[in-house]
Amino acid sequence: MDDKTGGTASIWMTVEVPTYAPLRADTHADVCIVGAGIAGLTTAYLLAREGKSVVVLDDGPIGSGMTARTTAHLSCAIDDRYYEIERLHGQKGAHLAADSHCSAIDRIEAIAKEEGIECDFERVDGYLFTPPGEPKEELDRELKAAHRAGLTDVEKVERAPIEFYTGMALRFPRQGQFHPTKYVAGLARAVERRGGRIFTGSHAASITGGSRARVETSDGRLVTADAIVVATNTPVTNLVSMHTKQAPYTTYVIAATVPAGAVHKALYWDTPDPYHYVRLQTMRSADGSAKDLLIVGGEDHKTGQAENYQERHQRLEAWARERFPIGDVEFRWSGQVMEPVDGIAFLGRNPGLDKNMYIVTGDSGMGMTHGTIGGMLITDQIMGRESPWEPLYDPSRKSLRVSGILEFVGENVNVAGQYLSEYVTGGDVGSPDEIAPGEGAVIGLGVTKMAVYKDEQGNLYKRSALCAHLGCVVKWNSLEKSWDCPCHGSRYDRFGEVITGPANRGLAPVKE
Ligand code: FES
């Protein structure tokens, strides 16, 4: 499949997904969904099942955003820990979080079965372990909090069932794993079978809620709708309100061969910060042969705020080689995670006056379940049903308690620091001569900053280096060959065209 997000390719990009034409005529639907990843297509599928007419728009192929860059752990073991969720959202909130993630795994399993989607869905156990040297009491704290959240079958075990000594671990039974692009391909076909319409190569340039809700594409086509769902990983409709409540992090993944049967099939997470996450995936070739690949992720950092991107993969490989019998590394990629300040995604009605605009964002590293919860919750809201999950995930919630507020302040001080430091510095290089072929750099011209990419033939592509969202200076990402914004995570391809919001247009052209 094509990829719209970067210079690396994930293990999930080796499969073909259905292709769709761009929107070529104005149309109307009950619901217009912007974004054809797991969140958008789950929402479209569930609404189509309820008899709603749906139109899905995406500027890239289906599933080509972060859905193709996940590691597809399906888990109700929350990355931010149940004791943290309980502290920030109360015991009831933790209970709802557990219930919603478990329900999302059940729903994915049910959809795959009912729609005959062959997406390698499997139930596996998950193990959270503390490596030697890490505080052991974290597991006990988390075990008690998970039990209070209703996950009474979580248990403490002597070690995770892998070769190296992990130390004590928590076992979360009946988690899951699947192949995300096979799944969204099946979802798209199921949407079509129920009369839904999907258009790709159609960039939603303007999105307006309210009584005259409409989405206009960059080539001037119009979708009018009774409701709009913005499922673009981070919303392209909010200029400010959501982007001060979540922070973008880049995470790194490798997939390496392992001998069949050498690693017990399960999900594994350790407890350092940033942590490692591990699972197995069997890849089958057209000739029927199969091989196991160990998928290992970690090395997270704030987007646009790191150097030496390639070293992240080297460190992951070294970590994995010390612990697992891995052979060749066949895939290396990165992805972006949106971290909400209080550990819970933002799913439901968009803040503001327009009650018929909905968003799915703040995946918190659990995008497959959070995207599915978003589809389930928003379907209930559009159908006029009450959902017990609504207050927990409400994008307008006021539940940021003391520590959540500190996190909130910390992330926004970090953003303010990006503005200050980048505006007063001169740029990465002084002239294009200093840029290697195939690379990019920011050049300072007084107070102006220019993002310059030099292709392999030496041709230069120049754009303003000021992010089209709120004007932070973008950074060159040498791994993905992209321009990344350190403030709220907008990303642009090497030529300056937008890949990921909150910006909804490319870097501005420069006049010389
Ligand atoms: Fe907000 Fe760039 S993403 S300023």
pTM score, two decimals?
Answer: 0.92
* The pLDDT value given to residue 417: 59
Q: Which CATH superfamily is domain 120-176+245-340 in?
A: D-Amino Acid Oxidase, subunit A, domain 2 (3.30.9.10)
Beta strands in 243-390 (DSSP E): 246-258, 267-270, 277-284, 290-302, 329-340, 346-349, 357-361
Q: How far is CA 255 from CA 264, 276, 295, 415, 492, in A?
A: 16, 13, 4, 33, 25
Sign of CA dihedral 27, 33, 34, 37: negative
Q: pLDDT per residue over 240-292, tens digit each?
A: 778 888 999 999 999 999 999 999 999 999 998 888 999 999 998 878 888 99
* The pLDDT value given to residue 1: 47
**For strand 267-270 and strand 122-129, is the pairing parallel, antiparallel, or unpaired?**
parallel
Atom of ligand 1 nearest to the CA of 467: 2
CA-nearest residue for atom 1, ligand 1, is 488
Nearest to 409 by CA among 249, 273, 250, 244: 244
To test the pocket of ligand 1, the residue of 470, 492, 498, 500 to mutate (highest count of ligand atoms within 8 Å of its CB) is 470
Ligand 1 center to 488 CA (angstroms): 5
Neighbours of 365 (CB within 10 A): 23
* The pLDDT value given to residue 2: 43
Ligand 1 center to 244 CA (angstroms): 10
Sign of CA dihedral 393, 404, 334, 275: negative
**For strand 222-230 and strand 290-302, is the pairing parallel, antiparallel, or unpaired?**
unpaired
* The pLDDT value given to residue 72: 96
Q: Measure the CA–CA gap between 418 and 405, rounded to whole angstroms.
A: 20
| b/e burial code for range 458-470 (CB count within 10 A of at least 16 → b) | eeeebbbbbbbbb
* The pLDDT value given to residue 126: 98
Domain boundaries, the chain: 11-70+181-244+343-400, 120-176+245-340, 425-500
Atom of ligand 1 nearest to the CA of 472: 4
Q: How far is CA 376 from CA 42, 293, 350, 398, in A?
A: 8, 32, 16, 22
Secondary structure class of 186 (helix, strand, coil): helix
CB 149 within 8 A of CB 344: no
Atom of ligand 1 nearest to the CA of 490: 3
Q: Measure the CA–CA gap between 264 and 262, rounded to whole angstroms.
A: 7
Q: Measure the CA–CA gap between 463 and 442, rounded to whole angstroms.
A: 10
Ligand 1 center to 305 CA (angstroms): 13
Ligand 1 center to 352 CA (angstroms): 20
Atom of ligand 1 nearest to the CA of 471: 4
CATH architecture of the region 11-70+181-244+343-400: 3-Layer(bba) Sandwich (3.50)
Ligand 1 center to 240 CA (angstroms): 9
* The pLDDT value given to residue 412: 58
CATH architecture of the region 425-500: 3-layer Sandwich (2.102)
Q: Measure the CA–CA gap between 57 and 2, rounded to whole angstroms.
A: 16
Residues of the chain below pLDDT 50: 1-5, 402-403
CB 267 within 8 A of CB 280: no
* The pLDDT value given to residue 134: 82
CA-nearest residue for atom 3, ligand 1, is 488
| b/e burial code for range 19-36 (CB count within 10 A of at least 16 → b) | ebebbeeebebbbbbbbb
Q: Measure the CA–CA gap between 355 and 489, rounded to whole angstroms.
A: 26
Ligand 1 center to 168 CA (angstroms): 42
Ligand 1 center to 84 CA (angstroms): 28
To test the pocket of ligand 1, the residue of 419, 488, 504 to mutate (highest count of ligand atoms within 8 Å of its CB) is 488
Atom of ligand 1 nearest to the CA of 503: 3
In the chain, the amino acid numbered 232 is T
Ligand 1 center to 94 CA (angstroms): 31
Nearest to 250 by CA among 304, 319, 329, 180: 304
With a Cβ cut-off of 6 Å, ligand 1 is lined by 467, 469-472, 485, 487-490, 502-503
CA-nearest residue for atom 4, ligand 1, is 470
Ligand 1 center to 198 CA (angstroms): 29
